[in-house]
């Protein structure tokens, strides 16, 4: 969970969220705390945790820059240019 949490907070910090859609992206587990825009697999992985499947952040009026992120426990690489 730490890898996902860190990567998602890193992504959030690169965005301007004037409408505060991502305000809950700083506490709890992204999957069990129902972070807005974070979709997770319905079944826990081999380590007993749910895993992030995708981010859906359309129509949130977000702006900013996403830079490449790498975290490797259960993988997350973001490259959006």
Rg over alpha carbons for the chain, rounded to the nearest Å, is 12
Q: How many CB atoms lie within 10 A of CB 52?
A: 21
Q: Poorest-confidence range of 2-6, 12-16, 37-41?
A: 2-6
DSSP 47: T
Residue-averaged pLDDT of the chain: 81
- Residue with more model confidence, 37 or 71: 37
Type and span of the H or E element at 59:
none
Q: Which tens digit of pLDDT belongs to each residue from 46-67?
A: 888 888 888 888 899 999 877 6
Q: Which tens digit of pLDDT belongs to each residue from 9-30?
A: 888 988 999 999 999 998 888 9
**pLDDT tier, 80 (very low <50, low <70, confident <90, very high otherwise):** very low
Domain residue spans in the chain? 2-78
DSSP count for the chain of H helices, then E strands:
1, 6
Identify the CA nearest to 38 among candidates 47, 19, 20, 51: 51
pTM for the model stands at 0.74
Q: How many CB atoms lie within 10 A of CB 59?
A: 7
């Amino acid at each position: 969970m730490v890898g996902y949490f860190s990567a998602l907070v890193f992504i959030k910090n690169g965005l301007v969220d004037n409408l505060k859609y991502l305000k809950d992206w700083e506490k709890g587990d992204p999957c069990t705390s129902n972070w807005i825009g974070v979709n997770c697999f319905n079944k826990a992985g081999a380590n007993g945790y749910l895993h992030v499947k995708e981010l859906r952040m359309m129509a949130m009026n977000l702006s900013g820059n996403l830079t490449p992120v790498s975290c490797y426990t259960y993988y997350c690489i973001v490259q959006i240019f």
